[in-house]
Amino acid sequence: MNNFPVKIPLLLKGFDPLKYRLENNTYTINPRTIYQINFKEIIAQDWYVGFKSIVFEAIGKRYLPIYRMADGEFRFCLNFLSYKKINRIKKILKNLNFFLKKKENYNRKLEFNRLAFIKHIFDINLFWIHHGEYYTSKDKILLIEKVYEYFNKIASLGILALHFVVEDNNTGYASYIEPMIKFFREHEITLDKKNYFPFYFVYALLSSRDCDVLFRDKNILIVSNFDKIKKKKLEYFFNSKKVNKIDFYNISPIKSFFDVIHPSKILIKPDLVLIGGGVGTLNILAQLEFLNVPCIDAGYILEMYANPNLKGSRIFIK
């Protein structure tokens, strides 16, 4: 990781210690043992304040797409977009296991149509995410060139919030870092101090008291998949934050890379857009430049807004 020689402990105000909940058990982590790799030395709190300032300064004024990337997005880049040898039997068994699964890791109901999915079990290039989003070999042909275009757009005009995290006691995510650095380099996607920030800064911004200021008196557009119940719960949450107006734009729960945004269906002039579209959020972000506002990949945070029981289920989510 020569390009990122420095490890920055993710010590932020209000998040010491870090806590997360799994299967009704709460676990505590010392933030001094979790590091975001970086180009240079910086105090995490100062880095976060800089990130927050960029977002606040763009509110209602400037297109600022922010795309979060962790294991799902990394696998999409490294396993789906790339051409690599695949163990056919292992892949089919994994596809079958996903088909049989009823709920994803955080006990949320999977959204995909099982009858439609079953014909893809033998597709060794099939890519899927635990919440139900999936793309086939045919999808890959349609997407592959667009994806690199979208990445370059976000890198040029916005922020890539990457889970380039290493831990003292866990190396799980670290195995993705070198391959992803190579992926970005091979496809001429530039990472620099202007567009590279930690994944967890988005969680911290949207789940701490900073979100009260971020949302108050603002027009908020939510781009995600929702039914009437989820929409009502999100309305309740945002009204509690004293937003000015809120609008909803419904997208696919499983194929957001193919959604097309129609400007005429957006009923307000937003100050801020929050998107929950899985890996395909990249496609949604790339289409929203005409709004000239920050567009944030909020993902799991929107699930938490609609379901307060998810509070504390991940680190940096209160």
Which pLDDT does position 187 carry in this prediction?
93
- Domain assignment of residue 97, yes or no: yes
What would the pLDDT profile of 146-181 be if each residue is shown by its tens digit? 999 999 999 999 999 999 999 886 656 788 999 999
Which pLDDT does position 22 carry in this prediction?
83
Give me the number of domains the chain comprises: 1
And the tokens for 45?
């709190």
What's the chain's average pLDDT? 89
CA distance 22 to 302: 19
> pTM score, two decimals?
0.90
Q: In a 10 Å sphere around its CB, with 0-12 CB exposed, 13-18 middle and 19+ buried, how is residue 91 labelled?
A: middle
DSSP-derived letter for residue 109 is B
Which pLDDT does position 106 carry in this prediction?
45
Strands 294-297 and 272-276: parallel
pLDDT tier, 92 (very low <50, low <70, confident <90, very high otherwise): low
Strands 18-22 and 6-9: unpaired
Q: Which residue has the higher pLDDT, 106 or 70?
A: 70
What would the pLDDT profile of 93-151 be if each residue is shown by its tens digit? 666 676 666 555 444 454 555 656 666 677 767 777 767 788 888 888 899 889 999 99
Angle formed by the axes of helices 44-58 and 200-207, nearest 10°: 70
Which pLDDT does position 228 carry in this prediction?
96
- Domain assignment of residue 316, yes or no: no
Averaged pLDDT for residues 47-66: 97
- Domain assignment of residue 275, yes or no: no
Tell me which residue of 276, 298, 308 sits closest to 132, measured CA to CA: 276
- Domain assignment of residue 130, yes or no: yes
Find tokens 């108050």 and name the residue: 216
- Domain assignment of residue 2, yes or no: no
- Domain assignment of residue 73, yes or no: no
Q: In a 10 Å sphere around its CB, with 0-12 CB exposed, 13-18 middle and 19+ buried, how is residue 167 labelled?
A: middle
